[in-house]
Structure 1
Amino acid sequence: MIPLPLARIAEITSGALSGMADPRAVVRGPVVIDSRAVEPGSLFVALKGARVDGHDYAAQAIRAGAVAVLATRPVEGPSVIVPDAAAALAELASAQIRGLPKVTVIGVTGSAGKTTTKDLLARLTARIGPTIAPVGSFNNELGHPLTVLRADADTRYMVLELAARNIGHIKDLTRIAPPQIGVVLNVGTAHLGVFGGKEAIAKAKGELVESLPRSGVAVLNGDDPLVRDMASRTDARVTYFGHHESASIRAEGVTMDVRGRASFTLRTPSGTAHVSLKLYGAHAVENALAAAAAGYELGLPVATIAAELSEATPASRWRMEVTDRPDGVTVVNDAYNANPDSMRAAFEAFAVLGRGRRRFAVIAALRELGEEGPALNTELGRLAGGAGLAGLIVAGPDAGPVLEGAHEAAQAAAGLSSGPQQPGHGPQGASVPVPPPGAQVPGPHQAPPPGWHGPQGDVAPQGWQAPDGAPMPPGAPQGPQGNAGPGWHGPGPVGPGAPVTGPVAGPPPVGGPPGGAPYPQMTRIVHVPDAVAAAAELAGWLRPGDVVLVKGPRAMELERTAELVLGGAPQ
């Protein structure tokens, strides 16, 4: 931060000094909104939230070394009293930028990938000058000015992430720190219910390119039609990134390794270079191209860009973090947030990373989808239920549509239905013999009768119930109350229409019934109330070599699930 005396801060924010504040006392930073982050020389901004009022921590901040408190009412200790603390914070940040004329501001927005792209781009700009970038996803009306206020006289590049919860939000952020370069990644389904449609989302994201000066550069995803059309909304120079030949910065010959990391040839107008990403998932290529395009516009050589992209590892928490436990279980923690697009990308990456291994997933119902929420969550369930998982845990509230879609897809993937099976109707074209007349065909709550052949040679899933009087698979040991023994028993008494309340403890079954015909395996699907319960359920399923994906909306805090599965305490 540029050092400022309290008198100047009061002038910038239209505030009044209070609490015997010394007008000559100098704030040297940082500016913070959490009293626990106060350092000697800080300015503590007291914000009133739904559950916590920062004014209650003013005295604590002063004792920790804060020079003063930016507040909306008198507090114990030196303060600057303003009508609106958030607005005053924005004014202070705007003044900071005006005092740093040598800083180049780069804004990044999009429905998905903002944080990863920001981290990659900050790595590139650091090669050519001191750089400031947000910690994690500080991208709203509070995080944005707090990031700006970290800059000082040495700062040359400021890479900022801009989020929108409604029309006009990005425009407001660009007024705080006017960008010279604007990067737009994509227009997806995040906050669909808030905006009401993708066209409205595009309108909001396009506010970034509208703010650019004629001397600036708009870096646009040429593969996304709604982003490509934003070129008409700016007087700045436009450069496109993507996979299509029309993009000046593009990826050619993309391949994926066994861990789901992409390699490709980075092509630019002045040459090519090879990139091997350490980031997981094919969607990381789009983020890397966006960062490369902005870096290229700043004058970085293509070889330097490729080298930095190839060395980059996840810099922000809970975004495709891949960790191997000592027993060989791999946990993919992508729990920072989720929307329909990022869910699809995560499952695509997970399919590659988990190939040949038993795969499990912990997810939760998506939020802020408006009227389309139930349909999109049902589709999420179908995505997960049809992903070939050994087990799926759906955590938290409003899980009905997800569970419905998951059960539907899991039954279809196992080649099961409520009616007779026909030859060739199994997954992947496998042949399913037609049962003899009068034979019962397995439905969602039934165990397959002896002699019925499933398409993949797997045993029937745990938790299935056999109808009254139905024989168990040949040689299967019998359990109490007529349930089958290990590998075949259900959670309750066997009988017509008996409810399936969930799986029994232990991992999903493997192999086939002793001496019997193979049966199809269906994904085990359960619902739990929260992240901690998800970890407890998962602990009974996992064994060495398995792989787990954890992903859901931020409010579910599913990162706690990943941390507990990895053996640590939730953070």
Structure 2
Amino acid sequence: MIRMTLAEVTHAVGGTLHVHTPDTPETTVSGVVDTDSREMGPGSVFVAKPGETTDGHLFVDAAVEAGAALAIVERRLDAPVSQIVVPDAVAALSDLARVVVARVRAGGELQVIGITGSNGKTTTKNLLARILQDEGPTVAPRASFNNEVGAPVTMLRVSDHTRYLVSELGASRPGRIAELAGLITPDIGAVLMVGLAHAGGFGGVEATQKAKTELVEAVRPGGVAVLNADDPRVAAMAAVADTRGVSVRWFGRATNADVRAEDVEVTASGTTCTVVVGEQRLPLRLRVLGEHHVMNALAAITVAQVLGVDPAASVARLETVEIAERWRMQPMGSDRVRIINDAYNASPDSMSAALRTLAQITEPGQRKVAVLGAMSELGEQAGEEHDRVGLQAVRLRYERIVVIGTAARRLYLAAISEGSWDGEAVFFETADEAFEYLRAELRDGDRVLVKSSNSAGLRFLGDRLGESFS
């Protein structure tokens, strides 16, 4: 965080300051701001966030021992540290982020990019950060820091020298993206796609579209919306951009896209395509597995071009990226038994894309094995969408379909109904049971996809399988 006095932080969050000797209101802090006491260091600010399972106030002493110089709390504590008491610690975190980003923007050349979409946010964020880090100091989220805590924590990492802030914006409910984007008023807003991810929390895909449109509505007048030309729901957001004086740049495979891909080919070592930008035709070899990641790369190239980066330079930098993120189409195991661990998150769109990818990279004589868990937050559409995944796995001729967890049982039943009733589809209540089955069942040449929502926990099963067959 930029250097601020205790008095300035207090004013930013609207709290009451209680200084601890020898501090004064003019004492400064400039370290990390976080809700995790393990992230603290000298001069840092600990935000004591109440949680569902624990309370950040219980960790203030640990934060102080690690170097925290200030605690933002909801009640005053008997702790040897200056404290700012606020009604809502999470709201205070956002208030502080808003002030810090505005100060950096006013005093330098900071460019702010917001990214949202039902799928692909984290991958696109990582690809864009890789491009921009060679242009100047860049701040981007760790992992999937895209909610009401992770997004402002990332924003607060900017310094007076930061040139680019990349914010990943997720939505747990209508209005959330508007709130997060409102903290930074992006110069560029990129919308990747509108799908069924989290549709249960919104009441359907139309409501999801409206939620993602909130980013376009938050882009500053004169800014740029980077939109997916292949997704009609995203393309419709151009009308919103026009009413706000926001210009539009298109990416996709459609012929009208400003940055588009042709000749896409998926292999076991990555994905190749030709990136077309005006008269430029640039061969791109992504090491990241999956045809769907081409769209994420196109979005990153488009945003970077808006920021003045030559697409050829963007392509060269993207080719150095080995994986999108841990647990996202992450190759593990060995050539003998290849594990693709893609179990950090799952939606109907990403599940379908992952199943197609493994089918595309599996050679004749090799078996396709799908290890699948539940897709969360689909609401009333959960049953039908799990049915679709089971049907798709059978129709892609997966030799083994291993389904784990009661919440995913309907996927298993759909696979059986479609014809995988002779041992091809199996069901286990727990990941441990599935691991024992797979350790005995997998053989040389097998290609294995592990895919589920984060809540199902199969990413750890993927890790175990990767280690077992390394």
Query: Does structure 2 conserve the Cα–Cα contact (< 8 Å) formed by 1:104 and 1:180?
Result: yes
* Partner secondary structure for residue 419 of structure 2: helix
Structure 2 residue aligned with 1:40: 42
Report the Cα offset of residue 523 of structure 1. Answer: 5.0
Structure 2 residue aligned with 1:353: 361
Over residues 374-420 of structure 1, what are the superposed CA-to-partner deviations in whole Å (9 max), with x where a residue is unaligned? 11111122222333223222111223311210112234xxxxxxxxx
* Partner secondary structure for residue 279 of structure 1: coil
Q: Which residue identity is paired with 2:284? A: V
Instruction: Give the 3 Å change call, closer, same or farther, for CA 523–232 of structure 1 in structure 2.
Output: farther
Structure 1 residue aligned with 2:428: 528
Structure 1 residue aligned with 2:68: 66
Q: Which residue identity is paired with 1:164? A: A
Cα distance in 2 between the residues matched to 1:315 and 1:220: 21
Cα distance in 2 between the residues matched to 1:77 and 1:384: 58
Report the Cα offset of residue 367 of structure 1. Answer: 1.9
Query: Does structure 2 conserve the Cα–Cα contact (< 8 Å) formed by 1:550 and 1:562?
Result: yes
Over residues 138-194 of structure 1, what are the superposed CA-to-partner deviations in whole Å (9 max), with x where a residue is unaligned? 001100100011110110001111111221111101111110001111000101111
* Partner secondary structure for residue 265 of structure 2: strand
Query: Does structure 2 conserve the Cα–Cα contact (< 8 Å) formed by 1:19 and 1:77?
Result: no
* Partner secondary structure for residue 177 of structure 1: coil
Report the Cα offset of residue 270 of structure 1. Answer: 4.9
* Partner secondary structure for residue 280 of structure 1: coil
Report the Cα offset of residue 260 of structure 1. Answer: 6.3
Cα distance in 1 between the residues matched to 2:69 and 2:394: 56
Query: Does structure 2 conserve the Cα–Cα contact (< 8 Å) formed by 1:359 and 1:390?
Result: yes
Cα distance in 2 between the residues matched to 1:117 and 1:130: 18
Q: Give matches, 1:327-476, under 5 Å.
A: 328-356=336-364, 357-411=366-420
Instruction: Give the 3 Å change call, closer, same or farther, for CA 105–523 of structure 1 in structure 2.
Output: farther
Structure 2 residue aligned with 1:222: 229
Cα distance in 2 between the residues matched to 1:548 and 1:389: 10
1:269 to 2:278 alignment: yes
Query: Does structure 1 conserve the Cα–Cα contact (< 8 Å) formed by 2:266 and 2:361?
Result: no
Candidates 174, 180, 188, aligned match of 2:181: 174
Candidates 539, 547, 556, aligned match of 2:447: 547
Over the aligned positions, Cα root-mean-square deviation in angstroms equals 1.6
Cα distance in 2 between the residues matched to 1:103 and 1:283: 30
Report the Cα offset of residue 525 of structure 1. Answer: 2.0
Candidates 237, 243, 260, aligned match of 1:250: 260
Structure 2 residue aligned with 1:9: 9
Q: Give matches, 1:71-86, under 5 Å.
A: 71-75=73-77, 76-78=79-81, 79-86=83-90
Unaligned runs of 5+ in 1: 412-443, 445-521
* Partner secondary structure for residue 207 of structure 1: helix
Report the Cα offset of residue 87 of structure 1. Answer: 0.5
Candidates 231, 248, 259, aligned match of 1:238: 248
Over residues 8-28 of structure 1, what are the superposed CA-to-partner deviations in whole Å (9 max), with x where a residue is unaligned? 211111111236262233222
Cα distance in 1 between the residues matched to 2:104 and 2:88: 25
Q: Which residue identity is paired with 1:33? A: T
Q: Which residue identity is paired with 1:408? A: S
Cα distance in 2 between the residues matched to 1:399 and 1:360: 16
Query: Does structure 1 conserve the Cα–Cα contact (< 8 Å) formed by 2:288 and 2:324?
Result: no
Structure 1 residue aligned with 2:101: 97
Cα distance in 2 between the residues matched to 1:179 and 1:210: 10
Cα distance in 2 between the residues matched to 1:138 and 1:530: 28
Query: Does structure 2 conserve the Cα–Cα contact (< 8 Å) formed by 1:135 and 1:316?
Result: no
Cα distance in 2 between the residues matched to 1:350 and 1:98: 45
Cα distance in 1 between the residues matched to 2:6 and 2:12: 10
* Partner secondary structure for residue 362 of structure 1: strand
Cα distance in 2 between the residues matched to 1:141 and 1:165: 9
Structure 2 residue aligned with 1:147: 154
* Partner secondary structure for residue 2 of structure 1: coil
Over residues 399-442 of structure 1, what are the superposed CA-to-partner deviations in whole Å (9 max), with x where a residue is unaligned? 3311210112234xxxxxxxxxxxxxxxxxxxxxxxxxxxxxxx
Structure 1 residue aligned with 2:117: 110
Query: Does structure 1 conserve the Cα–Cα contact (< 8 Å) formed by 2:17 and 2:85?
Result: yes
- Percent identity over the alignment? 40
Candidates 499, 521, 538, aligned match of 2:438: 538
* Partner secondary structure for residue 527 of structure 1: strand
Structure 1 residue aligned with 2:31: 29
Structure with the larger strand share: 2
Report the Cα offset of residue 332 of structure 1. Answer: 0.2
TM-score normalised by L of structure 2: 0.94
Over residues 271-322 of structure 1, what are the superposed CA-to-partner deviations in whole Å (9 max), with x where a residue is unaligned? 2211111111110111111111111111111211221122222242110001
Query: Does structure 1 conserve the Cα–Cα contact (< 8 Å) formed by 2:376 and 2:455?
Result: no
Cα distance in 2 between the residues matched to 1:373 and 1:183: 28
Cα distance in 2 between the residues matched to 1:536 and 1:24: 61
* Partner secondary structure for residue 121 of structure 1: helix
Q: Between Structure 1 and Structure 2, how many residues are aligned?
A: 457
Cα distance in 2 between the residues matched to 1:260 and 1:392: 24
Cα distance in 2 between the residues matched to 1:406 and 1:152: 52
Q: Give matches, 1:286-297, under 5 Å.
A: 286-297=295-306
* Partner secondary structure for residue 93 of structure 2: helix
Cα distance in 1 between the residues matched to 2:450 and 2:362: 13
Query: Does structure 2 conserve the Cα–Cα contact (< 8 Å) formed by 1:273 and 1:303?
Result: yes
| Structure exhibiting the larger radius of gyration computed from Cα positions | 1
Structure 2 residue aligned with 1:159: 166
Structure 2 residue aligned with 1:278: 287
1:305 to 2:314 alignment: yes
Instruction: Give the 3 Å change call, closer, same or farther, for CA 315–24 of structure 1 in structure 2.
Output: farther
Report the Cα offset of residue 206 of structure 1. Answer: 0.7
Instruction: Give the 3 Å change call, closer, same or farther, for CA 260–347 of structure 1 in structure 2.
Output: farther
Report the Cα offset of residue 135 of structure 1. Answer: 0.3
Aligned structure 1 segments of 4 or more residues deviating by more than 3 angstroms: none
Cα distance in 2 between the residues matched to 1:172 and 1:132: 20
* Partner secondary structure for residue 190 of structure 1: coil
Which one is further off, 327-336 or 381-390? 381-390
Report the Cα offset of residue 558 of structure 1. Answer: 0.7
* Partner secondary structure for residue 318 of structure 1: coil
TM-score normalised by L of structure 1: 0.78
Cα distance in 2 between the residues matched to 1:3 and 1:207: 31
Cα distance in 2 between the residues matched to 1:280 and 1:254: 12
Query: Does structure 2 conserve the Cα–Cα contact (< 8 Å) formed by 1:15 and 1:80?
Result: yes
Query: Does structure 2 conserve the Cα–Cα contact (< 8 Å) formed by 1:383 and 1:409?
Result: no
Cα distance in 1 between the residues matched to 2:301 and 2:208: 25
Q: Give matches, 1:556-571, under 5 Å.
A: 556-567=456-467
